[in-house]
A and B are shown apart, each in its own frame.
Chain A
Amino acid sequence: AQKVTQAQTEISVVEKEDVTLDCVYETRDTTYYLFWYKQPPSGELVFLIRRNSFDEQNEISGRYSWNFQKSTSSFNFTITASQVVDSAVYFCALSEAQPSSGSARQLTFGSGTQLTVLP
């Protein structure tokens, strides 16, 4: 069974500070996918990034960066120079490949981290 842990329930920072959201996962599968989603107050989950288990390269997209480390089963997310608009709940999720059905779309979500960026 897979599990995703986001130990930080709430984080509050002042605008322009950097913030890192932690994500630790558990899976027995060798092929899996990791995701980050953002959920603003409107409720819609916004896709941010997908990584597969064979690609440990860190990724940077503007102010966002992700650090994937298989050795520690972590997939952390950093926002540089945070802005008020970054305030939202952020979810880390895991999807295992299921060869028998060809489907890998059952996402197991962490409990989320509420990020508040103060002006």
Chain B
Amino acid sequence: KAGVTQTPRYLIKTRGQQVTLSCSPISGHRSVSWYQQTPGQGLQFLFEYFSETQRNKGNFPGRFSGRQFSNSRSEMNVSTLELGDSALYLCASTQGVGGLYEQYFGPGTRLTVT
């Protein structure tokens, strides 16, 4: 079974631009979560989607948004990029609801904002 895939793997953007990151979960997995990893703040939860609905959201500004499609693929968008948005963005997929299922992470997208 193929793992979680994220595209692109690396991205360089300029402050003020917007960016869209993509995540394809493991086949059969219906939940996708997004995390931001920075040296200063560590790993922080952004949001989670299940069956095309956002079920949970972390403490991030409205510039961070996401969506999930009917095939469970997910995208996250960051508008009006700031230097502090430079981070590794990790996507995780899981099979179902509840904590009974472990999250499997993709390789991440490394975003650099200049």
Contacts and interface: CB of A to CB of B under 8 A. Distances in A.
Contacts of B107: 42-44
Contact of B105 (A44, A108, A112): A44
Contacts of B43: 91, 93, 107, 109, 112
A97 interface: yes
A33 B100 CA distance: 8
Interface string A18-55: 00000000000001110101000011111100101000
A111 B42 CA distance: 6
A105 B94 contact: yes
Contacts of A103: 31, 48, 50, 55-56, 97-98
A43 to B, nearest CB: 5
Interface in B70-110: 88, 90, 92, 94, 97-99, 101-108, 110
Interface residues of A, number: 30
26 contacts: A35-B102, A37-B105, A43-B108, A43-B110, A44-B106, A45-B92, A47-B102, A47-B103, A47-B104, A47-B105, A50-B99, A50-B102, A95-B99, A101-B55, A103-B50, A104-B98, A105-B48, A105-B94, A106-B45, A106-B56, A107-B33, A107-B35, A107-B103, A108-B45, A110-B42, A111-B42
B58 interface: yes
A105 B110 contact: no
A107 B55 contact: no
A98 interface: yes
Contacts of B98: 97, 102-104
Interface of A: 31-33, 35, 37, 42-47, 50, 52, 91, 93, 95, 97-98, 101-112
Interface residues of B, number: 28
Contact of B56 (A32, A42, A91, A105): A105
A31 B106 CA distance: 27
A74 to B, nearest CB: 19
A104 B98 CA distance: 5
Nearest to A98: B56
A43 B88 contact: yes
B42 to A, nearest CB: 5
